[in-house]
């Protein structure tokens, strides 16, 4: 914390204060203004996007429906209690056994699902559907920005270089827009030193970019964000307790490792309010597997990573909502290749302290012939935008007049109460 | 003022500064002994100067250079470039062979999956056939990706026909196809080779027709599946095949008339989209591919296009105010004729060209003159460009070095300026992916933008500078063959698929010499930047040049 204050005082505000002719009064100028850890930005949202259409009917399987086993002779999961069977959630739905690390959150009422949810647009094209889910305007291709950027621009509280964080090399569509977003490379690349991290290099380039033009200002913003990220990743009082919890064992590569880094970052840098990460590999058209196999192999690290994130957020989990979503679901029946094809409805996962957990929300349409969408897919009874809008409004305190701008063109529909009162 | 208020005020000021649009200053023009146009034409008609280019253009004169570039057919390709292209399957082989090979690998993979699944109960047979098929398919994907990106990058960097390369990129974005969509992975390089590059400076109608009929586009925008509701093939069919409006919409919205004309008088409506889709039913390609040496092997892209009468909607159509009687494949040809010569198309294309070559906000008077030229020359792209390059707007000093480079323009111009003989293009392709502009990776049909709004962001700046530093210090590995890649069979999903690119750690080869670099770039680097560069540590000098605000613009 101390290092971050010093950095921010040294850099971000120098230009502004010089322009205004003001001088920061005393070492506590920052604290006097209001610690971001106490303001509206203390409420966090983490979005995990599963690209490729994860099979929601395997994540939260409706084993209580007689069609379930009939539709999925080889990829269906066994009922709870059997070998490799589902983990019972509520007597009707079961959780995929590979997601066992998440069961305690369900039991502790911190994990909920909104089943039969998604985007109303009928496209079954991955890239169109992802585009719609990220732009937040299903059916409209002309939207230039993404809804998480719109959130960044309209949420109450102070802007900061790291307020919006993206994990991964390429800034995703969901963050496209005018508000700058900080990004952190996935994997070991996140903290790998780059040329610009060397002070002599940074100061040499700073001389080139010291103007008031937009390019120069953008360069300086990038330096601020990078320094904040590195400072936050490099340590704080939180790290000692985490090291103890971990017993020094490294996490497997991939999502669990990134989740640990994200948690550390969020705890050390209270400016981080929105975070996004995308995981791929869910498009199981052939050989999907059941309790073991292709899908299970991917669900494992995902569940583990979410567990790591939740645990290492510590008390911050009380103010955090983690949402997992995917562009559409998959066919109710397995296909001729022991897999599933592109479908429609899916389950959204909602995890965190403020969540009304221990419940599968939404109106369940059933998977019998009459309940299916186009006689093949899980139908949608909850628009994903309604879930996000609820979280934005009631958890992130997005003002009413901004709510309409979050998802232009949306007519609010049935919204399950995924958050505790 | 109390500290809290000071902080609030300064934050507001910072926020206000960030939100005020600012015109980037023309930072490049400095060497006043030279005609600033020399640098300008190299930055706009080419991907920036290579060593010796500035001197050459000064010698022959700007107008001679422009004329030379407008006629790529008169410029010989270096033998080593031609040889390099000929060594790439995706450039050498006909489209049919590429489709055939691609489908064969997919088929083998599916069969292996099925065989594996069949024995899932109880005993497990050797998984070798499955692993081999999966590896073979993954191998093929990788080879297709590597060759496709190599073909584009070596031409962009090394071809003396620079304007043709610039226009190839321009038109590819305009008629965008996404490499990630199944069959398109095998076809994008051929699409560029056969439909785009040869027509890049030709007549717009030819370009439009070539893209409309290439299997890459037919597949990407789904027209290959589009079938009339009452078409012959649907008589007595259990599962009716439907009309697909995707291409019909995009050909009007993006390729010709422009979305700004949707719903406007003189424009098009949703009804027109549907009617055009009906006219284009039956426009498909021969999708048979039954394995190695199957019927598609050896078939060139133009011959893959087929008109399938059984899919065609034979009703009368009312489109753009015209009544079109049933006339088979001619309906679509007629539609393309109308679209290619439509005044809205002339304006839309001219607007895009003016944005690409002059300014993010294209000067309206120039757009109008270009549109008139377009119509007067029957869509002759060369002539429209000739008018553009002669225009006072193009030659206005205020526009020089004022456009922010896209990642593609930045990476390619850095490679050219460095003078390094590029053996391995993968680090450059990797840099493009990192910068958010993966080659052929635009998922949506509108293609990549070329404006400052789209590309100037804090993260991009950092990545560009780090790239420039690695290139300048000889640590990028572009001058040697890559080590053989490792294939992880059961990789745990990482947060971003592009992070699977192998990290190439090579010993530093010869770094870029700063003095030579400054000489190459000539007047594109301002005196001010030169001053900073030459006043800093020598080992940083080349990186500072390539990472300078001057070099970020063109």
Tens of pLDDT, residue by residue over A380-390, are 999 999 999 99
Q: Which residue has the higher pLDDT, A316 or A341?
A: A316
Where helices occur in B214-245 by DSSP H, the ranges are: 215-220
Percent of chain B past pLDDT 70, that is, above it, reads: 84
pLDDT at B82 over 60: yes
Q: What is the mean pLDDT of residues A143-157?
A: 94
pLDDT category, B486, cuts 50, 70, 90?
A: low
Chain B contact set for A194 (CB, 8 A)? 462, 466
> How far off is chain B from A85, nearest CA to CA, in Å?
16
> How far off is chain B from A201, nearest CA to CA, in Å?
7
Query: What residues contact A10, with CB distance under 8 A and at least 6 apart?
Result: none
Report yes or no on whether pTM surpasses 0.95: no
| Stretch 278-317 of chain B: residues touching chain A, C-beta under 8 Å | none
| Token output for B477 | 């590995």
Q: Which residue out of A34, A146, A201 would a mutagenesis test of the B interface target, given it has the greatest number of B Cβ atoms within 10 Å?
A: A201
Q: Does B486 touch chain A (CB under 8 A)?
A: no
pLDDT at B113 over 80: no
| Token output for A307 | 């567990």
Give residue B293's pLDDT: 59
> How far off is chain A from B476, nearest CA to CA, in Å?
13
Q: Please say whether the beta carbons of A131 and A141 come within 8 A.
A: yes
| CA A299 – CA B486 distance, rounded (Å) | 24
pLDDT category, B263, cuts 50, 70, 90?
A: confident
pLDDT at A31 over 60: no
Of A231-245, B165-179, B363-377, B398-412, least confident by mean pLDDT is A231-245
Query: What residues contact A327, with CB distance under 8 A and at least 6 apart?
Result: A51, A52, A53, A118, A119, A126, A129, A130, A132, A133
Cβ–Cβ pairs < 8 A, chains A and B: 214
The answer to whether the Cβ–Cβ distance between A16 and B499 falls below 8 Å is: no
- Write the burial class of residue A337 (CB in 10 Å: 0-12 exposed, 13-18 middle, 19+ buried): middle
Q: Report pLDDT digits (tens) over A169-185.
A: 677 889 988 898 888 87
Question: For B106, which residue in chain A has the nearest alpha carbon?
Answer: A286
Q: Does B488 touch chain A (CB under 8 A)?
A: no
pLDDT category, B290, cuts 50, 70, 90?
A: low
Query: What residues contact A303, with CB distance under 8 A and at least 6 apart?
Result: A98, A99, A100, A101, A102
The answer to whether the Cβ–Cβ distance between A218 and B9 falls below 8 Å is: no
pLDDT category, A12, cuts 50, 70, 90?
A: very low
Give residue B542's pLDDT: 96
Give residue B260's pLDDT: 73
Q: Report pLDDT digits (tens) over A353-379.
A: 999 999 999 999 999 999 999 999 999
**Looking only at Cα atoms, what is the longest distance across chain A?**
75
Which of A33, A178, A280 has its CB closest to that of B4? Answer: A33
| CA B551 – CA B194 distance, rounded (Å) | 33
pLDDT at B270 over 90: no
Of A11-25, B216-230, B524-538, least confident by mean pLDDT is A11-25
Chain A contact set for B452 (CB, 8 A)? 214
Q: Report pLDDT digits (tens) over B417-429.
A: 999 999 999 999 9
| Stretch 160-219 of chain B: residues touching chain A, C-beta under 8 Å | 178, 180-181
Chain B contact set for A222 (CB, 8 A)? 458-459, 461-462
The answer to whether the Cβ–Cβ distance between B543 and A301 falls below 8 Å is: no
Q: What is the mean pLDDT of residues B204-222?
A: 96
Which of A159, A186, A200 has its CB closest to that of B15? Answer: A159
Residue A156 sits at φ, ψ, to 5 deg, of: -70, 155
Which of A127, A142, A207 has its CB closest to that of B178? Answer: A127
Residue with token string 């993010």: B360
Which of B436, B496, B549 has its CB closest to that of A278? Answer: B496
Chain B contact set for A196 (CB, 8 A)? 462, 465-466, 469
Give residue B493's pLDDT: 36
Give residue A29's pLDDT: 33
| Token output for B374 | 């377009």
Give residue A230's pLDDT: 84
Q: Please say whether the beta carbons of B310 and B232 come within 8 A.
A: yes
Which of B458, B465, B537 has its CB closest to that of A180? Answer: B458
Count the helices and strands in chain B (H runs, E runs). Answer: 27, 4
Please give the CATH number for the structural domain made up of A41-198+226-406: 3.40.720
Interface confidence (ipTM) of the complex? 0.82
pLDDT at A98 over 90: yes
Query: Using alpha carbons only, how large is chain B's radius of gyration in Å?
Result: 26
Of B80-84, B287-291, B294-298, B355-359, least confident by mean pLDDT is B287-291
Of B15-29, B293-307, B409-423, least confident by mean pLDDT is B15-29
Percent of chain B past pLDDT 90, that is, above it, reads: 64
| CA B178 – CA B502 distance, rounded (Å) | 23
Chain A contact set for B469 (CB, 8 A)? 195-196, 201
Q: Does B504 touch chain A (CB under 8 A)?
A: no
Question: For A29, which residue in chain B has the nearest alpha carbon?
Answer: B3
> How far off is chain A from B298, nearest CA to CA, in Å?
31
The answer to whether the Cβ–Cβ distance between B114 and A286 falls below 8 Å is: yes
pLDDT at A22 over 60: no
Mean pLDDT of chain A: 86
Give residue B144's pLDDT: 92
Give residue B116's pLDDT: 64
Of A316-330, B288-302, B313-327, B410-424, least confident by mean pLDDT is B288-302
The answer to whether the Cβ–Cβ distance between B459 and A183 falls below 8 Å is: yes
Q: Where in chain A is the domain with CATH 3.40.720?
A: 41-198+226-406
| CA B159 – CA B197 distance, rounded (Å) | 12
pLDDT at B39 over 70: yes
| CA A80 – CA A63 distance, rounded (Å) | 9
Which of B19, B116, B496 has its CB closest to that of A186? Answer: B496
Of A108-112, B139-143, B368-372, least confident by mean pLDDT is B139-143
Q: Please say whether the beta carbons of A255 and A277 come within 8 A.
A: yes
pLDDT at B211 over 90: yes
Q: Report pLDDT digits (tens) over A390-402.
A: 999 999 999 989 9
Domain ranges of chain B: 79-200+203-340, 407-485+497-552
Chain A contact set for B458 (CB, 8 A)? 161, 180, 182, 218-219, 221-222, 225
Question: For A48, which residue in chain B has the nearest alpha carbon?
Answer: B495
Q: Which residue has the higher pLDDT, B514 or A337?
A: B514
């Amino acid at each position: 914390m101390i290092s971050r204050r010093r950095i921010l005082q040294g850099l971000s505000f120098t230009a502004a204060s010089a322009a205004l002719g003001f001088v920061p009064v005393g070492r506590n100028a920052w604290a006097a203004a209001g610690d971001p850890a106490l303001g509206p930005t203390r409420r966090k949202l983490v979005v995990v996007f599963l690209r490729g259409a994860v099979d929601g009917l395997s994540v939260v399987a409706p084993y209580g429906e007689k069609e379930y086993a009939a539709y999925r002779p080889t990829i269906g999961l066994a009922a709870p209690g059997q070998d490799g069977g589902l983990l019972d959630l509520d007597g009707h739905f079961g959780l995929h056994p590979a997601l066992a690390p998440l069961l305690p959150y369900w039991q502790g009422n911190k994990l909920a699902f909104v089943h039969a949810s998604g985007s109303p647009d009928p496209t079954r094209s991955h890239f169109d559907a992802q585009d719609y889910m990220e732009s937040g305007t299903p059916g409209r291709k002309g939207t230039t920005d993404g809804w998480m950027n719109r959130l960044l621009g309209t949420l109450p509280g102070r802007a900061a270089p790291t307020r919006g964080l993206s994990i991964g090399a390429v800034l995703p569509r969901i963050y496209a827009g005018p508000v700058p977003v900080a990004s952190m490379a996935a994997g070991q690349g996140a903290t790998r030193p780059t040329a610009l991290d060397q002070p002599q290099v940074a100061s040499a380039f700073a001389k080139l970019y010291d103007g008031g033009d937009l390019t120069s200002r953008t360069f300086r913003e990038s330096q601020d964000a990078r320094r904040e990220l590195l400072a936050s990743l490099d340590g704080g009082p939180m790290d000692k307790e985490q090291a103890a919890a971990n017993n020094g064992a490294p996490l497997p590569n991939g999502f669990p490792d990134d989740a640990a880094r994200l948690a550390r970052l969020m705890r050390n840098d209270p400016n981080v309010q929105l975070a996004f990460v995308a995981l791929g590999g869910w498009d199981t058209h052939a050989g999907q597997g059941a309790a073991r196999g292709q899908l299970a192999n991917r669900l494992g690290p995902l569940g583990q990573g979410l567990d790591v994130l939740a645990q290492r957020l510590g008390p911050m989990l009380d103010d955090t909502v983690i949402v997992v979503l995917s562009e559409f679901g998959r066919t109710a029946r397995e296909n001729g290749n022991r897999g599933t094809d592109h479908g429609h409805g899916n389950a959204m996962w909602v995890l965190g302290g403020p969540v009304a957990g221990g419940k599968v929300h939404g109106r369940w349409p059933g998977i019998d012939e009459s309940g299916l969408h186009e006689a093949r897919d899980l139908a949608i009874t909850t628009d994903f935008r309604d879930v996000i809008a609820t979280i934005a409004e009631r958890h992130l305190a997005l003002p009413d007049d901004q709510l309409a701008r979050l998802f232009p063109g949306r007519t609010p529909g049935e919204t399950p109460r995924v958050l505790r009162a | 003022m109390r500290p809290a208020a000071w902080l609030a005020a300064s934050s507001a000021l910072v926020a206000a500064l960030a939100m005020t649009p600012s015109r980037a200053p023309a930072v490049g023009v400095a060497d006043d002994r030279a005609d600033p146009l020399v640098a300008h034409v190299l930055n706009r008609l080419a991907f920036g100067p290579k060593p010796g280019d500035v001197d050459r253009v000064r010698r022959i004169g700007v107008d001679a250079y422009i004329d030379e570039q407008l006629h790529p057919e008169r410029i010989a390709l270096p033998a080593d470039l031609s040889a390099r292209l000929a060594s790439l399957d995706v450039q050498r082989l006909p489209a049919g062979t590429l489709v055939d090979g691609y489908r064969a690998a997919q088929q083998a993979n599916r069969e292996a999956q099925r065989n594996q699944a069949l024995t899932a109960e109880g005993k497990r047979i050797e998984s070798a056939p499955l692993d081999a098929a999966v590896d073979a398919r993954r191998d093929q994907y990788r080879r297709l990706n590597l060759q496709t990106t190599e073909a584009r990058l070596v031409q962009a960097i090394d071809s003396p026909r620079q304007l043709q390369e610039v226009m190839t990129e321009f038109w590819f974005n305009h008629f965008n196809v996404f490499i990630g969509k199944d069959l398109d992975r095998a076809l994008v390089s051929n699409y560029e080779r056969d439909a785009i590059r040869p027509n890049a400076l030709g007549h717009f109608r030819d370009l439009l027709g070539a893209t409309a009929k290439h299997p890459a586009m037919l597949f990407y925008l789904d027209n290959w599946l589009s079938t009339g509701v009452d078409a012959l093939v649907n008589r007595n069919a259990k599962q009716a095949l439907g009309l697909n409006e995707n291409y019909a919409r995009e050909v009007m919205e993006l390729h010709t008339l422009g979305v700004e004309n949707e719903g406007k008088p003189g424009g098009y409506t949703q009804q027109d989209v549907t009617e055009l889709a009906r006219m284009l039913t039956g426009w498909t390609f021969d999708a048979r591919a039954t394995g190695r040496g199957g019927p598609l092997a050896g078939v060139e892209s133009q011959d893959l296009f087929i008109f399938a009468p059984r899919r065609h909607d034979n009703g009368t159509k009312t489109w753009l105010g015209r009544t079109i009687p049933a006339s088979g494949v001619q309906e679509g040809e007629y539609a393309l004729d109308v679209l290619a010569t439509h005044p809205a198309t002339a304006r839309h294309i001219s607007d895009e060209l003016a944005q690409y070559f002059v300014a993010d906000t294209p000067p309206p008077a120039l757009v109008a003159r270009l549109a008139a030229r377009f119509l007067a020359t029957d869509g002759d792209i060369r002539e429209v460009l000739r008018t553009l390059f002669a225009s006072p707007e193009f030659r206005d000093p205020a526009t020089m070095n004022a456009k922010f480079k896209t990642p593609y323009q930045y990476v390619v111009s850095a490679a050219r300026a460095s003078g390094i003989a590029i053996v391995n293009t993968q680090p450059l392709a990797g840099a493009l992916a990192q910068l958010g502009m993966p080659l052929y990776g635009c998922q949506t049909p509108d293609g990549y933008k070329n404006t400052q709004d789209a590309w100037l962001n804090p993260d991009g700046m950092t990545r560009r500078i780090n790239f420039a530093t690695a290139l300048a210090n000889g640590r990028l590995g572009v001058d040697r063959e890559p080590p053989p890649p490792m294939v992880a069979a059961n990789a745990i999903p990482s947060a971003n698929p592009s992070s699977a690119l192998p990290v190439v750690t090579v010993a530093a080869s010869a770094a870029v010499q700063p003095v030579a670099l400054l000489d190459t770039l000539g007047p594109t680097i301002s005196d001010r930047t030169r001053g900073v560069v030459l006043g800093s540590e020598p080992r940083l000098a080349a990186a500072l040049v390539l990472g300078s605000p001057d070099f970020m613009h063109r």
